[in-house]
A and B are shown apart, each in its own frame.
Chain A
C-alpha cells in the first residue's frame, strides 16, 4: 500500500520541512513571559490553602454560646475572604496552651456576607467545660486576636441538582449553625429553597438564635419555619414541642416524601435521629449528614478492642526530614497524639472524611470506626490511614505529610 496525501515528493518534502517549520514558528513567537493564569487565580480565591483572619466582634448568644465575627487580617495582602456554600466549615488552625491544633466550625453567617471589602464570617461556638479549645477561646480570644483557618470546606450543603428544594433541617444544640447560614442565604434570595427546621435544645435558655430565626420566619413566610423541640420538663415558649425529634414530630410538620433531610448536631442526637428517620424508609439520597467530628468515647464503639483501652503505645512519626517517637493513647486518635507532641500534622475535618491528614501506616494496627472510614479503596490496600479517625491498637510507625 502506498499512501500519498499531496503527492509522493511533496509529502516527503513536507516531512523534511517539519523541523525547520517548527523552529521558524518558535523563533517568530513572542518572548513575553506569562503571568499567573486565571484558573489558578480562581482556585486560590475559592480554595485558599489558608486564610489569615482577625476577630472583629464577639457576641454572647446564650450563657454558653458565643459568636466570633472574623474578618480578613489587613496585615496580610488579603484578597478578601473566600466565598463558600451555606453549611460549609472553616477548619481553624490555632495554638492553644502552646499546642497547634485544628478545629472545624460551621460558618454561621451567610455566604453573601463574606463578599466585598467588609466581608466577614461568623462562627458560633458552644463552650465545652471539659474541652481543650473552647475554654481557651473564652479566656484568650478577644477582639483583635488573629486566627488562621483553612479555606471553606466540607460537603454539608444544599445541592439543587441533587436535593429536594424543601429542606428539612434536624438540628441539635450548636448544630444550628449551618442552618443559620442557610436560612440567611434563603432570605437574602440567593437560594431557591425552603427550610423547615426542627431544632432540639435541652432548655429554653439553650436555644441559640431564637429571636433571629423568628425574624427570618417573618421575612420569608413559608420559606423559613422553625419548630423548637425541647427536652426539658417544662416549656413556656409558644409553639414548642416537648420531647425529642421523633418520627411523629417530623411527620407532624414535614412533607416526608418530598423533602431532603439535613442532620447536624451532637453525637447523641445523631444516634437518636438516625433511628427515627429509619422509620420512613427514605432513599439514601434524601438524607444528608454533617460529619460529627471525633467520637466522644471510642471504647463504646462496636468492634473497638477494649482490652487495649488503658494502654499507651509508641508512635514513630516520619514528617518531612524529621523522625520522632511520641506516646499515643489507645482511646485517642493518632492525630491527637501527634498534636499533643506539637508535630502540627495536617488535618481539616477531624471526622475521617476529607483525607487531609492521610498518612502512610508502615507498621502496626489501628482501629477505625466503619462510619468514620472515608478512605479510598486503594488507600486501604496500600496501608494509608486518616489519622483523625484512627486509634492505635499497637505500636505504630507512620509517614505523615507536612502541613500545607
Chain B
C-alpha cells in the first residue's frame, strides 16, 4: 500500500516535471543550511535560534492581543482582525526576509550547471519558504485560535476551524508576494528589479504601518455595516474572504459568508495554479537572466556637489578614522538596499500619524492649552527612536560583509573616533533632515516656532536614545556580518519590546510643554546628556570591538589556511 502510494506520488511529481529524489535532497540541504547559518551566527552565545525567538515573540504578541479582544468582539470580527494581522505580518516578513529565498541568483551559481529542472528548483525554494511561513503563521494564530473557543459566542469548534483557515490565509499572503516577485522579474533586469523591490517593499511597509491604524479605526464602521447588512465591501479585502470561510466552517451558511468563502477559495486556487505555473516553468531562465544582468552605470556626481560633500565631511569629522566611518556609513545609508528596505519604512510612521491627525482633527499644537492629549504630535516624533532601533539592529549586517576584512587589516588606531563617525553619519544623513522635515510639515498646522521647537525636542530626545541604543550594540564593525534569515526580524522585534520606554518620554515632553521656558532648559540638558551617553557608547563599542577582534585571533580568520 505504502509503495503504491509512493509510486503514485512519484508519477504525479514526474508529470509536473518535478524530480522527487532531487527535490527531497535539495530541500533537506536548504533547511540544514539555514539552520547552520543561524547557529553559526549565534555560536558562543546563549541566544536560541532566531526563528524560535521570532515565533515566541509573535506568539506572545498575538496572545496579548487575543486576551484584549476575545471577550469583546464577536467571532466574525475577531477572526477578521487576527487574519488581517497575520496576513499583513506574513506579507511583510516574506518581503523583507525571504526575497533572497525566492529570487537569488547566487544559489543558481552553485546549482545552475546541475541537471535540475526549473520546476524542481522552484519547488524547493517555495517549500523552504512555506516551512517558515507555516511555523510563523502557527505562532501568530495558535493563541487566537484557542482563546476564540472561549469568546462571547463560545464556539468549541472554533480552534479546529480557524487554525487551518489562518494557515491558508498566510499561504495566500505569501503566494501573493511571490507572484509579485515573478511579475517584477519578467519586466526588468536584476539591478532594476532589486531597486523596484526595495521601493515596493517600502510602500508595502507604509501600508503595514498605516494598515494597523486604519484597521483599528475601521472596526466600528464594519460592525455598523454588519448590523445594517451591507457587508459586500469585504469582497475586496482578502482577510474578509477567510473570515467568511471560518464562519462557513462553523456551520453559519449565511449568503454573505458563503460568497466570501467561495470567492476566497477561488482566488487562492487561481493564485496557486495559474500564477505559479507560469513562474515555475521559466524560473531557471529568470535566474540566469538575473545572473547575467550587469549593474547600470551611474553617472558621477558633479564636481561642485562632490566638493560640498567633501567640505561637509571635513567639517563634521575631524580625524581620518571618523571621516572614513562617516563616509562609509553615509554612502551605505544611501546605497545599501537591505538597509534602505529595513530602515525607510519607519518613515511611514510620521506620515501615518500626521495623516490620521489631520483626518481625526487631533493634530493639535501641544504648546497650546487643550483638554485632549495631543497624541498625534507625540507619535510623530517617535520616528526618531524607531529609526534608531532599526539602525542599531541592522548595522552589523550586509550582503557585502566579506569586505569587512578591511577594518581588521587597516591600522585603525582610534576606534572611539571610528564609532563616532558611524553615529554622526546616521545623525547627519537621516535623523537631522527628518526632524527638519517634520518641523516644516508641522509648520503648516501650528505656529512655525512651535513646530520647530517640537521637532528640535524630538531630535534631542532621539539623540539621547541613540546613545542608549548604542550602549547595547554588540555588532562590532559595521556591515561585517552575513545577513541570516529571521535574525534581523528577531533583533528588531526584541528592540520593539523597549517601546514602553517611549511612554516615559511622552510624559516628560507633555509636562515640559505646560511650562513656558522649560523646553529650552530641557533641550540643553537633553543634548548634554545625549553627548555623554553617545561618548560612553563609542568608548564601550571601541573596547568591545577590540576585545572581539583579539578573541577572534586578529587576522587568522582571513588567512587562507584553516584556522
Q: Do A and B come from one complex?
A: no
Which A residues contact B (CB, under 8 angstroms)? none
Which B residues contact A (CB, under 8 angstroms)? none
